[in-house]
Chains A and B, each alone.
Chain A
Amino acid sequence: MSALFPFHGGLKTVRHKTESNQTRIWTAMLPPRLTVPLRQHIGAIAKPLVQPGDRVLKGQMIGQPDGYISAAIHAPTSGIVSAVDPQPVAHPSGLADLCVTIESDGEDRWINRQPVNYPHLHPSELRNVIRNAGVVGLGGAAFPSAVKLNPSGRSERLDTLILNGAECEPWITCDDRLMRERAADIVAGLQIMAYLLGPYEVMIGIEDDKPEAIAAMSAACVRTGYMVCPIPTRYPSGSVKQLVRLLTGKEIPVDGLPVDVGVQCFNVATAYTVHRAVNFGEPVISRIITVTGQVHGPGNFEVLIGTPFAALIAQCGGYREGVERLILGGPMMGFALHSDDAPVTKAANCLLAVGPAELAPELPVLPCIRCGACMDVCPADLLPQQLYWHARAKEFDQARDCHLFSCIECGCCSVVCPSHIPLVQYYRYAKNEIWALEKEKQRAEQARQRHQARMERLEREKQEREAKLRQKAPRVEVVASSGKQEG
């Protein structure tokens, strides 16, 4: 195994893994109603293919990818579409987004599934299978995987294909359980990815606090030539930039992508869904999610996309006393849900109910004392204190100069700040404002051009009218005089 290349900063956080990783993955119950958002991925929202009243089968495509960077959405069960309208979704804003609501008929009847024998397919056809199965990155970002599996446009072969099984956030164990129980399936998916990308080497990064997962994956990788690499348990080792550096020593450039350094990186759960899509013809209609924290029976559940969080919580025996916050994702980067009636999406890896025991008391915010504690833990090698200074003063240009957009919002800085400043929120705010300003600028430019075009058109029309007027001048006079006569 190769040597590791540690990254700067990071944190040793609390783990809280054993609450949920001691039992096998449970299959969640089929809820009577599923609300399937049409935007579960990065990119354009899928175009609905169904209307209220339509009967759908499990696995039937109900949302079509709209453009290259988009993903297909499928019916998680059979039933009748009762609505295609905006419903509350899991989003930090708590706003609604377009969803397809399906009333389950309880039969869970599959559409005709067509596994493919992939070595006989042209890579582009195989990519289409994966695209049509709605495969997206299940680690959280939900980027359409077919796009990342396309090596075209690159002359050289890919150096390294990395499978991310780090799972560095506290509490989350869904990838851990998946690797322990379905290692062979993951490796089967990985083989498909390797077939498409043709990398020189394949590495699987797993944090060393998951010895069982490492053992299972190593066993499954025998005779494949894939390397299972235990990595030190240090948040955020599962962030793409940090993991790539850790395993290969390469740094993804600022504003760059992994492919820029000859690396491509996928989550273990994504590999699993690729396997299901290709070898079983099953689109992504379910995922494994950790439900943990202040619930009676924490664990991992294989749950249909569109299942309301409340139904999932009910299956774990409900909340314990004093739950204050429901977090989607981990405690470091996850966001607090407004309510538990939003549905499970492809990107939802953990549902964490927390109460006063887990949440530090909210401490009063003091001025920054420039102690540099934030800088010492920043895995992006930023100066969070300077960024904060500029974001707070709304000096967006300076914030950008200080590489605001290199911030991965990992939250390490906020955790250690002795002044308890919500640093990450300042960075998010600044990023959002910069994007909005940019959009605004584009809009203004568009309006300026349209206005100018209109002015030119009016001018042209005026000239044309005048020209016509000059041509017809004598007649105009006649008309005018006849008018006078009438008057």
Chain B
Amino acid sequence: MKSILGNEIVKTALKWRSYISFLTIAIIIPLIDVGLLFEKGGWARGMTRGLASDFLIVGNIKNGFFITYFILNALWIHVPFLITLGAGDQLAGEATGGTFRLLLTRPVSRSYILFAKYVTTLVYAGALVVFMGVLSLALGTALFGTGDLLVPGRDLTILAESDVLWRMAAGIALATWGMCTVASLAFLFSSLVENGIGPIIGTMAVIIVSYIIGNLPVELFTAMKPYLFTTYLDLWAKVFEDPVPWETIRHSMLVLGGFSVGFYAVTWYIFQKKDVLS
């Protein structure tokens, strides 16, 4: 099993396609940072609606923590796309390349191969989220320094500088958890088709439709909202609330985990029966 997993990790790591997502993030985050560096206007002030003057905030509002939070929030909708780029290729890529014949004529059960590929997919998703979080944090604090984090929202929260770092770590971990569900869905689509684009389109279609249903104030849609996994993807942001709603986070984690297991189970069933015709 170890060497099978090793194979999959090496195959993914040596594939140029795997780095497109990392590259995108590596370009976009410095770009946003530089943009904000030259931003002089009332950007942060506008966002906090002048409240800053009424509260005692230690240090600069426009600090590295705030920038990181801002970036994570802004890119949130786009990260699933980057995840599917790699996750969607895990099975479909083998079908397109005809290499399933190389793997599945060996004395290793299909379940093992599938499991190794799934773990690789999750590692990929996790690596991408961690990379994004760490890069924004590192670059943000390097360029803008640290300070209290002002969390915009319905009720404005101000988190003390010393109280932020662990929340960043927890936020990244929870974001990884959520993106694993997205990766699982892309993995499922990947088992269905023999091209690299299908899983991306399929996953994004599901996510976009779910977002729309989840955000339209229509009664029927509101009733459906708890049953959509996208509803729970914002769990990472909850660690920045004060006090942290741990019960809500726990519930979101369970639901997202359940979706991941479900998606994997369906993939397993499909893969067991699949005729390798490529």
A and B found bound together: no
